[in-house]
Amino acid sequence: MNALQSYFSTDRGEMIHGDSISVFAEMEEASVDLIMTSPPFALVRKKDYGNQPADAYLDWFRPFAAQFHRVLRDTGSFVIDIGGSWIPGHPTRSLYHFKLLIMLCEEFGFHLAQEFYWWNPSKLPTPAEWVTVRRLRVKDAVNTVWWLSKTPWPKATNRRVLQPYSDSMKYLLKNGYKAMKRPSGHDISANFSKNNGASIPPNLLAIPNTESNGNYQRYCRANSITPHPARYPSELPEFFIRMTTDRGDVVVDPFAGSCVTGEVCERLERNWKCIDLNEEYLLGAIGRFQTESDHQKSSGVQYYRIPRPDLLWNGEPEEPLPEDGGRKRRVRRIGSKSAVTANL
Ligand SMILES: C[S@@+](CC[C@H](N)C(=O)[O-])C[C@H]1O[C@@H](n2cnc3c(N)ncnc32)[C@H](O)[C@@H]1O
């Protein structure tokens, strides 16, 4: 059987039912702009889809790493959301996700473009034994997200992921800021009080993972499908898809589960491929791509609506990302649309 055969497709993307290793083996070299994924973590309490133990994790991941590196373009990124794990029977943490990062960089030649931390404020206090029973540890509510790249210059811009100003920044913008040297030695010039419309986000992404009655869940309920037990919130892939790809680029999720990545790509007009071993997850994921008329025909219920793409963002027009990954410094002249460039 052809490993690349679609299970479901739209004009922009497709789901593939199968093992990512075989699917990637058939993909062309240097054909992908972003691999955005959340693999099975090395959890002590295993999920239905199976998890590798921490001590076997690196060996399990190696064949994927080789394929991911091969199919990425030089300008491409590989973003991996990976939660930590506990040492079985001990109130201490495994180092597997840090070892994975080191392996990806030192053995496979990936570059660490930046490390991110996804804080899920709604995470339950687990493991109960250490957190709520003996009260020895605090809740583990942060996943590491490694943003890796094939070269030191993946295409990217933070202009696509700006955030609204904090209340204190709005106050400073309104009431003025006295330019001065901070105790840290940083010179805060008068430029600091210029209103740029929005602020540059930090590498801590605070995103609650609370959706329990969205279109996907309603579709699963209506069709007696068990929802995926470990979905990430759409804001997480959206952040990286916006920052590192252009419209029409190719995004692949090799451990796609319920295809959150595909849904975001569809909305942001990126081409996508979502692969998963478990057919039931893909069956439920189809609900993410139902058009209004499809599901009204089948049930009269609305499962999926495509929101305006710039809904969460400040509407800054999307300039194409620099093909050289920003190697050439582009300086914007205030009050002019043109940009001048200089060699670094
Ligand atoms: C953490 S889940 C991903 C959840 C997904 N991000 C979402 O939001 O729905 C990991 C997924 O990897 C899939 N998986 C594990 N090994 C795989 C393989 N070799 N090829 C394809 N999928 C695999 C599992 O079936 C599981 O659905």
Same domain, 94 and 16: yes
Tell me the per-residue pLDDT of 227-245, one tens digit each, with 9 for 90 and over.
999 999 999 999 999 999 9
Distance CA 191, CA 21 (A): 50
pLDDT digits (tens, 9 = 90+) for 125-169: 989 999 999 999 999 999 999 999 999 999 999 999 988 888 888
- Say whether both 149 and 44 belong to one domain: yes
What's the chain's average pLDDT?
A: 86
What crossing angle do the helices spanning 260-268 and 235-244 adopt, rounded to 10°? 50
Please indicate whether residue 232, judged by its CB atom, sits closer than 6 Å to ligand 1. Answer: yes
298 is catalytic: no
Regarding whether 297 and 225 lie in a shared domain, the answer is yes
- Asked if 55 and 126 sit in the same domain, the reply is yes
Q: What distance in angstroms lies between residue 253's CA and the mean position of ligand 1's atoms?
A: 9
Query: Is 211 part of a structural domain of the chain?
Result: yes
CA distance 341 to 328: 6
**Under 8 Å between Cβ of 237 and 244:** no
- For 335: left if phi > 0, alpha if psi spans -120 to 50, otherwise beta; the answer is left
Task: For residues 117 and 186, state if they share a domain.
Answer: no
For residues 7-14, average pLDDT:
95
3-state secondary structure of 292: helix
- With a 6 Å cutoff on the Cβ, whether 61 touches ligand 1 is no
The two structure tokens encoding residue 210 = 């609370």
Tell me whether residue 38 is one of the annotated catalytic residues.
Answer: yes
What pLDDT does 312 receive? 54
Domain assignment of residue 110, yes or no: yes
The SS3 call for residue 146 is strand
**Stretch among 21-35, 164-178, 329-343 having the lowest mean pLDDT:** 329-343
Strand ranges, E, within 189-326: 204-206, 250-253, 271-276
Q: Residue 147 pairs with which residues in a beta bridge?
A: 79, 114
State whether 169 and 260 are in the same domain: no
- 336, pLDDT greater than 50: no
| C-alpha 98 to ligand 1 mean position (Å) | 20
Establish if 335 belongs to a structural domain. Answer: no
Does the annotation mark 39 as catalytic? Answer: yes
Same domain, 189 and 63: no
What dihedral do alpha carbons 99, 102, 104, 106 form, nearest 10°? -140
Nearest CA, atom 3, ligand 1: 257
Contact assessment for residue 183 and residue 154, using Cβ atoms and an 8 Å cutoff: no
Number of H helices, E strands in the chain: 10, 13
Please, which pLDDT band fits residue 333 given cuts at 50, 70 and 90?
Answer: low
pTM of the model: 0.86
Query: Exactly one of 20, 33, 39, 154 is catalytic; which is it?
Result: 39
Is there a contact between 66 and 104 (Cβ–Cβ < 8 Å)? Answer: no
Residue with tokens 């589960």: 257
Nearest CA to ligand 1 atom 5: 257
**Domain range enclosing 177:** 164-197
133 and 185 share a domain?
Answer: no
Q: What are phi and psi of 271, to 5 degrees?
A: -80, 145
**Paired tokens of 307:** 């929101």
Whichever domain contains 230, its CATH number is: 3.40.50.150
Q: Which pLDDT band, with edges at 50, 70 and 90, does 198 fall under?
A: confident
- Same domain as 258, residue 206: yes
**Residue scoring higher pLDDT (316 or 189):** 189
Same domain, 20 and 91: yes
Domain assignment of residue 344, yes or no? no
At 305-316, the pLDDT tens digits run: 444 444 555 556
Q: State if residue 230 touches ligand 1 by the CB under 6 angstroms criterion.
A: yes
Q: Using CB atoms within 10 A of its CB, is residue 16 exposed (0-12), middle (13-18) or buried (19+)?
A: buried
Regarding whether 170 and 146 lie in a shared domain, the answer is no
Q: What tokens does 262 get?
A: 């595909």
Ligand 1 neighbourhood includes 219 CB (under 6 angstroms): no
Does any domain span residue 54?
yes
Atom of ligand 1 nearest to the CA of 232: 8
Catalytic position from the list 81, 140, 249, 276: 81
Q: What is the DSSP letter of 163?
A: B
CA of 334 to the centre of ligand 1 (A): 46
The total domain count for the chain is 2
N residues, the chain: 344
Query: What percent of the chain is modeled with pLDDT above 70?
Result: 85
334 belongs to a structural domain = no
Q: Are residues 185 and 224 in the same domain?
A: no
Q: Are 232 and 41 in contact (CB under 8 A)?
A: no
Domain annotation covers residue 341:
no
Catalytic residue among 20, 33, 38, 94: 38
